[in-house]
Structures are given as structure tokens and as C-alpha cells.
Chains A and B, each alone.
Chain A
Amino acid sequence: AQSVTQPDIHITVSEGASLELRCNYSYGATPYLFWYVQSPGQGLQLLLKYFSGDTLVQGIKGFEAEFKRSQSSFNLRKPSVHWSDAAEYFCAVDGDDKIIFGKGTRLHILP
């Protein structure tokens, strides 16, 4: 069965530091992969997606993610975080007739 694992429930980084959020998936075929962000009390917004081609994908707000088939990973990165990046981040994989979401990683930013 398809699944998505986000190993880190909470991550804290200092403003200006680099960020990497981990995501591992389980899927038999070539996956369609996504990262979404959710601010408190709001809906989710798509940051980026991977369907095929270049394994390094660029998204909005300065985020990027790299698809590594050998590691079944799709980690999200940002070179320098801003206080406004504090939110919850969800990795997701397209599971045939529905999207499967990870349980999320909450990002905290230290001033």
C-alpha cells in the first residue's frame, strides 16, 4: 500500500539558517510527489510538485525539493528561512485515485 512518512514531527531552526524537511514514500510505480504548507487555522497551499524529469524541483517562496528514487525520498529544502516560514508542512504522494498525505512536520523559527 502507498504511504508517506515524515519522520520529524517538529523542527526548530534559527531565522536565516538552512532547512531540510524529510519525506519518505512507499509507492510501486513512478510517484507523483507534492509538498504543501499550512499556516495555523488555514487550508493547505501547494509549494511544489514532482511528476517527472529533473529531480530537483523549484517551488514558491524559495523552496526546492529533490526526488531520490534510490532512497524513496522527496526532501524539502530552503537555503535561508524567514520567520514567516513557520507553519506545518505536508508531503504527499498521488495514490492512484486519491492523494496520500504524511502526518506533517511543524516548523518553528527562532529569532
Chain B
Amino acid sequence: DGGITQSPKYLFRKEGQNVTLSCEQNLNHDAMYWYRQDPGQGLRLIYYSQIVNDFQKGDIAEGYSVSREKKESFPLTVTSAQKNPTAFYLCASEQDYEQYFGPGTRLTVT
């Protein structure tokens, strides 16, 4: 089956720790995206990558970092600099303007 996988589904961390969220796709799409979703806020773009070894900041990149070493993988690191990291994180890939979403990771930082 082709698709986007995100793991884990739920993630818990202590404040001050960095945490990396996984996103893998086997759709052979060039473009990949990370969004953050909070209640009533819709989807806010964190980072995106149009091609391997290249990525751009989105609207709320502060406190986050990404890498794109392989076409299939686009991991997101939530650093200790992110002031309010508890949220639902969605990864997507894109082809022909259509975005394909993973199931999301709910991160809770206490």
C-alpha cells in the first residue's frame, strides 16, 4: 500500500528535551510538508521541502528543525526552544497540487 506513515501516534516528552517526529512516504512524491494543528487554528505550516536536500521555513518555523536527506523521509525535530510544543502534528506529501496526509502524531510535553 502506498501512503504516508507517521510514528508514533502518541508521544510524550519532558520539557527541555528535543524530540523527533518521523514521516515516511512511498508515493515517490518530491514535495513534503509539516503542519501543526491546534484547536480552532486550522493547519499552520512549519516547514516544507520541494526536493531532496532542500527545505524552506513555513509560517511557524521557530523552535523546529527538519532534514530531507532522502526522498522518502522528512523528519521534524521539535526543539526545547519551541515555547508551546504540545499539539497535533501532520505530515503530508504532494503531487499535482494534491496533498496526501499521514495519520498525525499527537505530541504532549509536560
Q: Which residues of A contact B (CB under 8 A)?
A: 9, 32, 34, 36, 41-46, 49, 51, 90, 94, 97-99, 101-104
Q: Kindly list chain A residues whose C-beta atoms are within 8 Å of the C-beta of B88.
A: 41
Answer whether residue B64 sits at the interface, using C-beta atoms and an 8 A cutoff.
no
Size of chain B's interface in residues, with CB distance under 8 A? 24
- Consensus secondary structure, chain B interface: strand
Instruction: List the 8 closest pairs (A to B, CB-CB), nearest first.
Output: A43-B101, A103-B42, A101-B43, A44-B101, A43-B103, A101-B42, A104-B42, A94-B97
For residue A41, which residues in chain B have a CB less than 8 angstroms away from its CB? 88, 104, 106
B43 engages A90 (CB within 8 Å) = yes
Determine if A44 and B106 form an interchain contact, defined as CB atoms under 8 angstroms apart: no
Whether B97 and A43, one on each chain, are in contact in the complex, defined by CB atoms closer than 8 angstroms, is no
